[in-house]
């Protein structure tokens, strides 16, 4: 899976639940909420005042590392 700013958070979590750590780091602690799982990374980052491009880069690096 290649993550983009338009990727839905729930899809990313379903691909690898360990990516939750990156959402927690930006202050997104509501991952169990159905609304947050349906948000795009870009929308979540806008709400939390975080750089979506940087978050996507970190998640993709993690996923490509095979962890």
Task: Show contacts of 28-31: CB within 8 Å, 24+ apart.
Answer: none
Residue 38 lies in a domain: yes
Domain of 34, in residue numbers: 9-64
Residue 67 has pLDDT above 70, yes or no: no
Structural domain includes residue 23: yes
Report the predicted TM-score, pTM, of the whole model to 2 decimal places.
0.89
pLDDT in tens, 7-44: 999 999 999 999 999 999 988 887 877 788 889 999 99
Q: Is residue 24 part of a domain?
A: yes
21 belongs to a structural domain: yes
Domain count, the chain: 1
Length of the chain: 67
Decide if 22 is inside a domain.
yes
């Amino acid at each position: 899976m290649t993550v983009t700013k338009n990727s839905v958070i729930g899809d990313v979590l379903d691909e690898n639940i360990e990516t939750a750590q990156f959402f927690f780091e930006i202050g997104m602690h509501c991952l169990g909420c159905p609304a947050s799982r349906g948000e795009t990374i870009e929308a979540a980052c806008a709400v939390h005042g975080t750089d979506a491009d940087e978050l996507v880069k970190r998640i993709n690096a993690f996923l490509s590392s095979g962890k």
